[in-house]
Amino acid sequence: MDALAGSPLGWLCVGITALFGVTILCRAKRSLAGKANVLAWSLLPVLLGLLCMATLGAGRGLVACAACLISSMYLGSRELLPVGDKAVLITGSDTGIGHALAKYLDNLGFVVFAGVLNKDGPGAEELRRTCSRRLSLLQLDITNATQVQEAYLKVSKKVQNTGLWGVVNNAGILGFPADGELLPMNTYRQCMEVNFFGAVEVSKTFLPLLRKSRGRLVNMSSMAGGIPLPRYAAYGASKAALSMFSGVMRQELSKWGIKVAAIHPSGFRTGIQGTSDLWDKQEKELLENLPVDTRQAYGEDYLLGLKSYLPRMPTYCDANLSPVLSAILQALLAKRPRGLYTPGKGAYMPLCIFCYFPLWFYDFFIRKMLSTDSVPRALRTPEAESKNL
């Protein structure tokens, strides 16, 4: 210890550890945790840092103190603000994540404005029946500028000078999963209109209310918005645009005290794939718009087999939405929310492979993960062709 005390590096180590302890103690005192949690959270890491200094020496002790500091920053990002009377607008609350989120936040005590596509539909009726009187239903087609403006006027009248704490841009459509060459331009336009332009319209309209509260903007993107996935050209492109919008707004709105986060959920059962009637309509539109040579190259059996992917989607998805709801809550209430949340089993792995590995390896990985026996007619060998016949 004498050698440590005489070392400038040792004193630096002591200083960092002391600063770490004071910072954690002040933060813990302001939190809602009990006294026991305060002591455990603040004193134990400090003692650990001092012990590392004493046993490892100044150099490695400094590394240990830095590790303690980084871990405290992570723990701080998990610390939640009180709900209080915070008001949150959620779009697309008829079904899926938006519907579950409206119930979840209402149960936690939020003032919830649930935007629905059909105010008289079953989803809206269930929210009326099961939620508290704090929840207000809004007729809100996010592609309809008039409805967005009307929703803004209703929300601003209720929140008045306190502002709106959060906007969750959840409304979205999937479209018909098919090769990008096969998708009609109308599918691309619809996905961009709902998944991107609608979210931008809502964000721009409600930002004055978020500025009053220095609140949160949360955009529901998708794993397909962060990495390229086969059959999701239209959907993925629209979600990628939303993710980029989130990143830019995160940088620009920070000066106003508004925090922005994107959510990239993976593999959850939300009902976004639609109904069999919708699939029939989308399949008909796809087939009617195909050029003759493209139709011949892919083959009728390949084209008709595309629809079989939709009813299989829920079997690969998790019905438990709690990881997504927890991520959104973190984005809304964490003192230092992350810019990106990736709830879902294995959601982060493909993103890491895409970002840090060669593209050929990522393509190979995705091909194996999403393997299918379906091959366009023009690419089949004679043996495979006779087998299909």
On whether residue 41 sits in a domain, the answer given is yes
- Checking if the pLDDT of 203 tops 70, the result is yes
Query: Do 211 and 325 belong together in one domain?
Result: yes
The residue with greater pLDDT, 30 or 131, is 131
Provide the 8-state DSSP code for 81.
P
The range of the structural domain enclosing residue 27 comes to 2-78
Q: What is the rounded distance in angstroms from the CA atom of residue 2 to the CA atom of residue 153?
A: 69
Last residue of a domain, one of 50, 78, 106: 78
Query: Do 150 and 270 belong together in one domain?
Result: yes
Residue whose entry in the numeric block shows the structure tokens 């993103």:
351
On whether residue 250 sits in a domain, the answer given is yes
Residue 38: pLDDT band with limits 50, 70, 90 = very low
pLDDT reported for residue 92? 95
Based on the residue annotation, tell me whether 309 is a catalytic residue of this protein.
no
Residue 120: pLDDT band with limits 50, 70, 90 = very high
Residue 216: pLDDT band with limits 50, 70, 90 = very high
On whether residue 263 sits in a domain, the answer given is yes
| Annotated active-site residue in 152, 235, 302, 341 | 235
Query: Do 38 and 134 belong together in one domain?
Result: no
Range scoring the smallest mean pLDDT among 65-74, 124-133, 134-143: 65-74
Q: What is the rounded distance in angstroms from the CA atom of residue 349 to the CA atom of residue 200?
A: 29
Could you report the per-residue pLDDT of 318-341, keeping only the tens digit for each? 678 889 999 999 999 999 999 999
Among 126, 152, 129, residue whose Cα is nearest residue 138: 152
Last residue of a domain, one of 78, 102, 131: 78
Query: Do 33 and 70 belong together in one domain?
Result: yes
Q: What is the CATH number of the domain that holds 174?
A: 3.40.50.720
Query: Do 193 and 333 belong together in one domain?
Result: yes
Q: Alpha helix locations (H) across 232-321? A: 233-253, 276-288, 292-298, 300-305, 309-312
Query: Do 65 and 110 belong together in one domain?
Result: no
| The two three-digit tokens of residue 171, written as one number | 């409304």
> At residue 248, what are phi and psi to the nearest 5 degrees?
-65, -45
The DSSP result for 214-233, as a single string, is T-EEEEE--GGGTS--TTBH
Query: Do 240 and 323 belong together in one domain?
Result: yes
On whether residue 381 sits in a domain, the answer given is no
Last residue of a domain, one of 78, 97, 115: 78
Query: Do 252 and 330 belong together in one domain?
Result: yes
Q: What is the rounded distance in angstroms from the CA atom of residue 227 to the CA atom of residue 156?
A: 37
Query: Do 195 and 225 belong together in one domain?
Result: yes
On whether residue 265 sits in a domain, the answer given is yes
Query: Do 243 and 296 belong together in one domain?
Result: yes
- Checking if the pLDDT of 55 tops 70, the result is no
On whether residue 6 sits in a domain, the answer given is yes
Q: What is the rounded distance in angstroms from the CA atom of residue 372 to the CA atom of residue 370?
A: 6
Query: Do 153 and 277 belong together in one domain?
Result: yes
On whether residue 111 sits in a domain, the answer given is yes
Query: Do 246 and 314 belong together in one domain?
Result: yes
Could you report the per-residue pLDDT of 257-306, keeping only the tens digit for each? 999 999 998 876 566 666 667 777 888 888 888 899 999 999 988 888 88
**Per the structure, how many domains does the chain have?**
2
On whether residue 173 sits in a domain, the answer given is yes
The residue with greater pLDDT, 346 or 241, is 241
Report yes or no: 53 and 10 within 8 Å, Cβ to Cβ: yes
Express as a percent the part of the chain with pLDDT over 90.
Answer: 50
Q: What is the rounded distance in angstroms from the CA atom of residue 333 to the CA atom of residue 299?
A: 51
